[in-house]
Every structure is written in structure tokens, then in C-alpha cells.
Amino acid sequence: GQQVMQIPQYQHVQEGEDFTTYCNSSTTLSNIQWYKQRPGGHPVFLIQLVKSGEVKKQKRLTFQFGEAKKNSSLHITATQTTDVGTYFCAGLMNSGYALNFGKGTSLLVTP
């Protein structure tokens, strides 16, 4: 199945700094989803991107889908301690029946 690569693996920032995680696929994606998992928690759906070049915003979070639909990014402006967690991108696999998760980026924010 398709492989979804995600970088960086870890990111440690000071509160107030910006953060970006990148996701790349070897094949064209029909869509891409983003999830957040807090330490000790479970993945929580953030957003889905479908259209080429799509940009969506959720407060301080900005999500982008590349023109070729092979890459995506999540940018957080002015991080807060509540942003701590692992952010996963995920693309559909098995003819669209299930999500294939990237390895995730663990974000640590220190006050």
C-alpha cells in the first residue's frame, strides 16, 4: 500500500514559537486527514483535505494540501502548552477502506 512519510519525528519549541509538520506520499492521495493524540490519549480527528492546493484554518492551525496531492502540512502559530501531543497525517489505503498513518510528529511545548 501507499507509504505516508512524516517529518520531523520530534519537535521541541518554546511557548509562542511556531511549529510545522510535513507529510509526503509516494502516490497521489484522494484526500488526507490529520489527527492529534495527547500523551496517554487516543487520536482525535482534526480535519480532512480533499482538493488540490486546499488550505484550511482552525484558529491557530493552518492545514495545506499540495497541488499534486502528494504532500500536506500542518502549521501552528504561536504554540501553547495545550498543543502538546503527537500529530499524525493519514491517507486512505486499501482502495479507500482504511487509513494509513504517518509516523507522527511529537510536539513538546515548554513555557
Partner 1 sequence: DTEVTQTPKHLVMGMTNKKSLKCEQHMGHRAMYWYKQKAKKPPELMFVYSYEKLSINESVPSRFSPECPNSSLLNLHLHALQPEDSALYLCASRQGRGGSNYGYTFGSGTRLTVV
Residues that bind partner 1 (CB under 8 A): 30-31, 33, 35, 41-48, 50, 88, 92-104, 106
Residue 41 C-beta: closest distance to partner 1, Å:
7
- Return the C-alpha torsion angle 86, 87, 92, 97, nearest 10: 50
Residue 16 C-beta: closest distance to partner 1, Å:
26
Residue 54 C-beta: closest distance to partner 1, Å:
12
Distance, in Å, from the CA atom of 70 to the CA atom of 12, rounded to the nearest integer, reads: 26
Q: Closer CB to partner 1, residue 49 or residue 109?
A: 49
